[in-house]
Amino acid sequence: MTFLYDIGGLHPWLLAVVLNAGLGLLGWRLVSKLLTPAGLIHAWILGVIIWGLLGAAGYGVVLFYFLAGSAVTKVGMAQKEAAGIAEKRSGARGPENVWGSAASSTLCALATLVVPVVYQPLCCLGYVSGFSTKLSDTTASEIGKTYGQRTFLITTLRPVPQGTEGAVSLEGTLAGIVASGVIAVLAWVVG
């Protein structure tokens, strides 16, 4: 099994460069609201790596993660900003966010270069589970900040205000479970 794809006669790495540049230019207005300029460069690098290693299927997973995570961060933004619990830069992601979200998944994708073919599906499972976990965390945090009726500190189970670091809510937890399941199903569907 190989994870390199050849579309239109282009080498997968060349296609990755062209695709990411094209998507970045076409979606500049949207992307410039979701990523800082440095974040855009790092997201471009991530996109090239993922397309080059895992093709359209792997790219679809990271793209879904980025769009879903960005969308859920925007939910209730005015309310979160007024309460002082919103993500900095109105949720625009910088390099630290790109790699904080994608480092473990990227390492799993890179591992497909060196592990025996029989273990490559496990690397892909690790790739998906990294994004599934991160999307669950982001969704739970953002929905909990906006809609959490009662929030508790995870370590003591004592009630705390919304937005407290380490706080959980039923609403956020359920939203996180759904988000994790959606990205896992998407990954299964795209192979």
2-48 pLDDT, tens per residue?
444 445 555 888 989 998 888 878 877 778 888 998 999 999 999 99
97-117 pLDDT, tens per residue?
999 999 999 999 999 999 999
Give the CA-trace dihedral at 95, 136, 62, 66, to 10 degrees.
-60
Task: Specify the DSSP class assigned to residue 88.
Answer: G
Q: What is the pLDDT of residue 144?
A: 93
8 A C-beta contact, residue 162 and residue 182: no
**How many whole angstroms separate alpha carbon 167 and alpha carbon 160?**
7
Q: Which residues contact 96 (CB under 8 A, 6 or more apart)?
A: none
Q: What is the pLDDT of residue 8?
A: 52
**How many whole angstroms separate alpha carbon 164 and alpha carbon 152?**
9
pLDDT cut 70: percent of the chain above it = 95
Mean pLDDT check: name the lowest of 64-73, 84-93, 118-127, 140-149. Answer: 84-93
